[in-house]
Chain A
Amino acid sequence: MGDRKQARDEEFQSFVIGRWPRLMRTAFLLTGEQHAAEDLVQSTLEQAYVAWRRVGSADDPEAYVRRVMINAHARKHRRKLREFLARGDDSGLVREIADTGDRIAQADDRSALLTALAQLPPRQREAVVLRYWEDLTETQTAEAMGCSVGSVKSNAAKGIAKLRAIPGLADMATQGGRK
């Protein structure tokens, strides 16, 4: 009986260590800030721990954790994000298009995208991050967000349209790109 508990703990530990990097990246895109991302992932995993006996034996613990994270983000991080934005980068969306090929300029590109992403309404941001970063299907995204597929489509489309309004986004995409 004690062995079962130990096995569960080990399973949870390996889940935490294995998923931490990806969860951190997703949380960073959702919150737009390092410490908020750490808080979000940690509190998500704490909730997963409480339910691990049930979650760990489920078919897809990752889907559960994703759902918890999205719920937690929706509940807790909106105000935090607004505060962060209020004192954040004031260059915002109207900055000039940076020179490319330059590390500083590339950092600016990322920052502009993060700022634009953070200014999306939370549901649009969640839909964009889950669809285009997590690469989930519309159905998986709907499950994670606890909404209909139609709502995912609409939120993702609106979010993408707003991101496309960033001046110079096309240049960023072709020249900044993935490392």
Chain B
Amino acid sequence: MSTNRETSHDMRDSDIALLLADAADEVEIGIAPYQAVLRGGRRRRARRWAVAAATALVLAGSSATLAVAGLPGGDGGQVATQPLVPVDADPSRVLQTTLATGTDQGSKWRVLIDVWSAPRDEKQAEAQRAAMALRGETPPDAHNASDLIGKITYFVYRGYGDKTTKIMENTVPASDTMTGTDLISGSLPLRPDAKADVRLVIGYIAKTAQRVNCTWTNETATVVEKAGSATGTDVPAIRSAAGSPYNWFVCVAPKGTEYKTAEVIG
């Protein structure tokens, strides 16, 4: 218990402290359920994405149009632009990368990421927030523009047909990195109107990771590898995204099956 309190309890209230201590003893402590905490924590990591998706559905009205304006036309076979990672990118200019494209039941789909570089000072942060607002993007958990200083903000979008949905958003320190087999992935339906049919997997991994194994509920798997300079976005691959400290991958489960796991295997 702390001793350097700036305001001590009134001594008259020490009886309350004693009673609380006594009452607290009534709880059965048990053994810390470490494994359950671990499982729950991992589920939460994955669920973050689903929450972002749900939020995005609400926001879609404001963000979709602007996001679509930035979408490449994409015939499903475009070559991914090799993203530049600017050393000193203008924080008020968005860096957009196409992570994947494809066709599902005759509808074109794509996954895009918008990355905003870290502002260095309040002025840059203000300019960045204004530029984000023009695109219908609101940085999560940034109450003041100064909350963005030194941090990268990104938004991931799923486009399906003519509907675009924000599926992930986060603000992370510019120094954030992932290492080894670290992986954070989320899964959600490929079709925006689907309640189930969770086939789309998007994740980010260390820059050094070479291969990701996505497994599906029918016990089959898809391995994605680092994209080469000529790998089209319709080929599932690990890609760098301009301005992002991580590499990204997108997997799509074959029709009739759903996401089960994703892990870095090399």
Which residues in A have some Cβ–Cβ distance to B below 8 Å? 1-2, 4-5, 13, 16-17, 20-21, 24-29, 34, 37-38, 42-43, 45-50, 54, 106-107, 109-110, 113-114, 117, 128-129, 131-140, 160, 163-164, 169-170, 172-174, 176-179
Complex: chain A residue closest to B6, CB-CB:
A137
Stretch from B40-48, B109-117, B127-135, B243-251 that touches the partner: B40-48
* A contact patch SS: helix
Q: Which one of B6, B41, B180, B181 contacts A50 once the chains associate, using CB atoms below 8 Å?
A: B41
Cα of A128 to Cα of B13 in the assembled complex, Å: 11
List chain A residues, Cβ under 8 A from B21: 133, 178
B22 touches A176 (CB 8 A): yes
How far is it, in angstroms, between the C-alpha of A84 and the C-alpha of B48 when the chains are bound? 30
The answer to whether residues A28 and B41 also contact, given A138-B6, A140-B2, A160-B13 and a CB cut-off of 8 A, is no
Which residues 16-32 in B have Cβ within 8 Å of A in the complex? Answer: 16-30, 32
Task: Give the chain B neighbours of A29 by CB distance below 8 A.
Answer: 20, 23-24
- Tell me, rounded to whole Å, the shortest Cβ–Cβ distance linking A15 to chain B: 10
B180 and A16 contacting across the interface, CB-CB below 8 Å: no
The reply to whether A5 and B9 contact each other, CB–CB distance below 8 Å, is no
- The closest CB in chain B to the CB of A29 belongs to B24
Closest residue to A170 on the B side, CB-wise? Answer: B15
Say yes or no: A34 contacts B180, CB within 8 Å. no
B contacts with A, residue count (CB < 8 A): 44
Instruction: Tell me whether B17 and A135 are in contact (CB under 8 A).
Output: yes
Subset of 13 A-B contacts with CB under 8 Å: A2-B181, A5-B181, A49-B40, A109-B19, A109-B22, A110-B23, A113-B22, A131-B9, A137-B6, A169-B15, A172-B19, A173-B19, A177-B22
CB distance from A108 to the nearest CB of B (A): 11
* Residue contact B24 to A26, C-beta cutoff 8 Å: yes
A177 pairs with B40, CB closer than 8 A = no
Decide: A135 near B32, CB < 8 A? Known: A1-B206, A5-B180, A178-B21.
no
CA distance A114 to B17 in the complex (A): 13
Residue pair B34, A17 in contact (C-beta under 8 Å): yes
